[in-house]
Structure 1
Amino acid sequence: MRRRLAGRAALETADGPAELAALLDGADALLAWDFNSDAVRTAWPRDPARAPRWVHAASAGVDRLMFPELVGTPGLRVTNSRGVFEQPIAEWVAGVVLAFAKDLPGSWERQRQRVWEHRETRRVHGSTALVVGAGPIGRAVGRTLRALGARVRLTGRRERADDPEFGRIHGSSGVDGEFGELLGGADWVVAAAPLTDATRGLFDAAAFARMRPGAAFVNVGRGPLVVEDDLLAALRSGTGRPARAALDVFCREPLPAASPLWEAPGLLVSPHMSGDAVGWEEELAQVFLAEFERWTADRPARNAVDLHLGYVPMTPQP
Structure 2
Amino acid sequence: MSQIAYINWEATGTAAFPLIQKAIRETPTLAHLPDLLHINTPNTIPDTLDVSKVEIVIVDASVVGLWSRFPSLKLILSAWAGIDRLLKDPDFPRHIPLIRLVDNSMTKRMGQIALTHVLNHHREMNLITRQQIQKVWNKKPRGVLPPPMEDVQIGILGIGVLGKEVASQLIRNGFTGVRGWGTVERSLTIPRLVDSVTGNETAVVEEVSVQVVAGREGLEHVLRTSDIVISLLPSTPDTYHLIGYSEFSKMKRGSMFVNLGRGATVVQDDVIRALDDEDAMIEWAVLDVFELEPLPESNPLWSHPHVIVTPHMAALTDYTFAARTIANSLRLYTEGAERIPGLVDFSKGF
- TM (norm. structure 2) is 0.78
- Tell me which residue corresponds to 2:109: 88
- Tell me which residue corresponds to 1:53: 74
- Tell me which residue corresponds to 2:201: none
- Tell me which residue corresponds to 1:33: 60
Question: Structure 2 matches for 1:1-318, cutoff 5 A?
Answer: 1=19, 2-6=21-25, 8-11=33-36, 12-19=38-45, 26-34=53-61, 39-45=62-68, 50=71, 52-66=73-87, 67-73=89-95, 76-82=96-102, 83-119=104-140, 120-123=144-147, 124-150=149-175, 151-160=177-186, 163=188, 166=209, 168-171=211-214, 173-174=215-216, 177-276=217-316, 280-300=318-338, 301-311=340-350
Shift of 1:80: 1.3
Higher Rg of the two aligned structures: 2
Q: Which has the higher strand share?
A: 2
CA 113–209 in structure 1, closer or farther in 2 if over 3 Å, else same:
closer
Contact 1:25 1:45 in 2 (8 A): no
Contact 2:23 2:324 in 1 (8 A): no
Identity %: 24
Shift of 1:15: 3.2
**What SS class does the counterpart of residue 132 from structure 2 fall into?**
helix
Letter in 1 for 2:167: G
Contact 1:25 1:50 in 2 (8 A): yes
Q: Provide the C-alpha distance between the structure 1 equivalents of 2:51 and 2:286, rounded to a whole number of angstroms.
A: 38
Shift of 1:199: 1.1
When the two structures are aligned, how many residues end up with a matched partner?
A: 297
Q: Provide the C-alpha distance between the structure 2 equivalents of 1:25 and 1:211, rounded to a whole number of angstroms.
A: 53
The Cα offsets for residues 281-301 of structure 1, whole Å up to 9 and x where unpaired, read as: 211111101112122333342
Letter in 2 for 1:27: V
CA 292–258 in structure 1, closer or farther in 2 if over 3 Å, else same:
same
Shift of 1:231: 1.0
Shift of 1:302: 2.7
- TM (norm. structure 1) is 0.85
Q: Provide the C-alpha distance between the structure 1 equivalents of 2:246 and 2:344, rounded to a whole number of angstroms.
A: 31
The Cα offsets for residues 27-46 of structure 1, whole Å up to 9 and x where unpaired, read as: 22222224xxxx31232217
The Cα offsets for residues 241-286 of structure 1, whole Å up to 9 and x where unpaired, read as: 2110111111111111111111223111011111127xx1211111
**What SS class does the counterpart of residue 211 from structure 1 fall into?**
coil
Q: Provide the C-alpha distance between the structure 2 equivalents of 1:97 and 1:24, rounded to a whole number of angstroms.
A: 48
The Cα offsets for residues 41-96 of structure 1, whole Å up to 9 and x where unpaired, read as: 232217xx7153211122222112224432433xx121112234211111101101
Letter in 1 for 2:100: N
RMSD: 2.3
Question: Which runs of 5 or more structure 2 residues have no equivalent in the other structure?
Answer: 1-18, 26-31, 191-208
Greater Cα shift, 122-131 or 266-275: 122-131
Letter in 2 for 1:32: V
